[in-house]
Amino acid sequence: MKLNTKALRYLTPEDWRVLTAVELGSKNHEVVPTPLITQISGLRGGSGVHKCISNLAKVNLIAKVKNAKYDGYRLTYGGLDYLSLHTHLKRKTLYSVGNQIGVGKESDIFVVASPTGVQYVLKIHRLGRISFRTVKANRDYLRNRNSGSWMYMSRLAALKEFTFMTALRDNGFPVPEPIAHSRHTIVMSLIDAFPLRQITEVPDPAGLYSELIDMILRLAQFGLIHGDFNEFNILIKEKTAVPDIEGGEGETASSETLKVLTPILIDFPQMVSIDHANAAMYFDRDVNCIKRFFERRFHFTSDEPGPFFSDAKAQLRKKGGRRLDVGVEASGFSKKMAKELETYMREVGVDGDGSGDEGQQSRRSEDDEETEEEAEAEEEEDAKAEEQSEGSTDGRGLRGEPDVAKAYDGHPIPGEDLSSQELHGWSSFSDKT
């Protein structure tokens, strides 16, 4: 699903009411009956509602389903995107959308800007597009669950990530700053950093390895296991420090600079409690992912065995302290939500990074293949939507960098003045909303 904000500024208040009505009706109907849309929207006169429905269908925010038993429409991912962006706009969190800087099996990443010109990152969860083949094979599972829709699960993934990110940030963990959350989207701070998978050389592999292992152990001390702790979900922020060297007469301080690398942890939908039934497996997998990557990329192997899950549990019992897994549940992300999301992600094939070196090395190619499958499926769906609706827009969606997967390369775009609406790569959507 491509994000195209071209039509957002032209939607009328009545269009937003009808689109919101379709969203509300989707809680109990896969295809929302047209009379129910009219009733929920509260608009007088059926002709006005039908005109809004036609406008929304033309830009693929809602879609008519073929061979349905009754006249109705379903909410598309584009419609959910617009509703989320509209909420961020009303809260004055966002003003414009820039280039796509990340794409993965589970999300899309965009650079966005606030009304004051501050650049943020917009993460859109798209859990349903993970694998069309896998989802089709599990349709029986989805049919038997009222809460098993792609959009509902994407909303749960966004809620979980925002909740955990907030808790980790408040407790001093190096994670992006959470700014706002709406439906299946998260706005977070833009970090000037590189994904660990893109880095080929570091000045001190042993020091960086130790820092990452310590982060895994520190998470465990707070009752959490990341579940997908690998080079795709770790950003490396580089700082330059000048060593303080005292020089005598005629001597100057050394011109050499030191590079200080700070790891930043991202992506939390797979995070679980240390009391989880499979906690030991997730913990060992996180540790082994780092060990394998450092051995393969930096030719570094630690002399110390472990750490092991039993050691982390013993340390947790000994030190006690605040349990973030309990705190997150108290903040609104319940055990029921966590169980639903975990079951769905396992059913459709999102369960961390896989296993083995081969799984690590082939992850990028799998992303590319599935993205191609997704594009083909979207083209077929868009073609059907165009036939069913009364036309389609000729605008083109924002295009992202093709060489980015899962993690985002958080480099600010230099020289951009966000006060102008004619910026290259930026789309302002605040004119008529």
Strands (E), 174-329: 178-182, 185-189, 194-195, 224-225, 234-241, 258-265, 272-273
The separation between the first and the last C-alpha atoms of the chain, rounded to the nearest angstrom, is 23
Tokens encoding 297: 């990329």
CB-side neighbour CA atoms (13 Å) of 349: 17
How many whole angstroms separate alpha carbon 426 and alpha carbon 424?
A: 6
Residue 413 — φ and ψ, nearest 5°?
Answer: -85, 115
Q: State residue 143's pLDDT score.
A: 43
How many whole angstroms separate alpha carbon 158 and alpha carbon 326?
A: 19
Residue 115 has pLDDT above 90, yes or no: yes
How many whole angstroms separate alpha carbon 315 and alpha carbon 332?
A: 28
Mean pLDDT confidence for 332-341 = 70
* pLDDT tens-digit map of 245-277: 555 444 444 456 778 899 999 998 888 888 888
Q: State residue 389's pLDDT score.
A: 41
Lowest mean pLDDT among 192-201, 251-260, 308-317, 358-367: 358-367
Q: What is the DSSP letter of 264?
A: E
331-340 CB contacts, 8 Å cutoff, 24+ apart: 331/163, 331/166, 331/167, 332/159, 332/163, 333/159, 333/160, 333/163, 337/156, 337/159, 337/160, 338/160, 338/272, 340/147, 340/148, 340/153, 340/156
Strands (E), 200-296: 224-225, 234-241, 258-265, 272-273
Percent of the chain predicted with pLDDT > 90 = 45
Q: State residue 385's pLDDT score.
A: 45
Amino acid identity, residue 401? E
Q: Give the pLDDT band (50/70/90) at residue 132.
A: very low
Q: State residue 180's pLDDT score.
A: 96
Lowest mean pLDDT among 81-95, 167-181, 214-228, 309-323: 309-323
* pLDDT tens-digit map of 354-399: 433 333 333 433 444 444 444 445 445 544 544 444 433 333 332 2
Catalytic residues: 228
Burial of 343 (0-12, 13-18, 19+ CB in 10 A): middle
Mean pLDDT confidence for 150-159 = 86
Residue 405 has pLDDT above 50, yes or no: no
Amino acid identity, residue 243? P
Q: State residue 187's pLDDT score.
A: 97
Q: Give the pLDDT band (50/70/90) at residue 433.
A: very low
Residue 44 has pLDDT above 50, yes or no: yes
Mean pLDDT confidence for 198-213 = 94
Q: State residue 53's pLDDT score.
A: 94
Higher-pLDDT residue of 262, 414: 262
Q: What mean pLDDT, rounded, does the chain reach?
A: 76
Residue 192 — φ and ψ, nearest 5°?
Answer: -80, 90
Mean pLDDT confidence for 156-177 = 93
Q: State residue 68's pLDDT score.
A: 79
Residue 401 has pLDDT above 50, yes or no: no
Residue 80 has pLDDT above 80, yes or no: yes
Q: State residue 98's pLDDT score.
A: 92
CB of 76 closer than 8 Å to CB of 63: yes
Q: Token pair 């994670």 is at which residue?
A: 175
Residue 62 has pLDDT above 90, yes or no: yes
Query: What order do you get walking across the sheet with 32-33 strand by strand?
Result: 32-33, 72-75, 62-64
How many whole angstroms separate alpha carbon 175 and alpha carbon 266?
A: 6
- For residue 154, the Cα-to-chain-centroid distance in whole angstroms is 9
Q: Give the pLDDT band (50/70/90) at residue 342.
A: confident
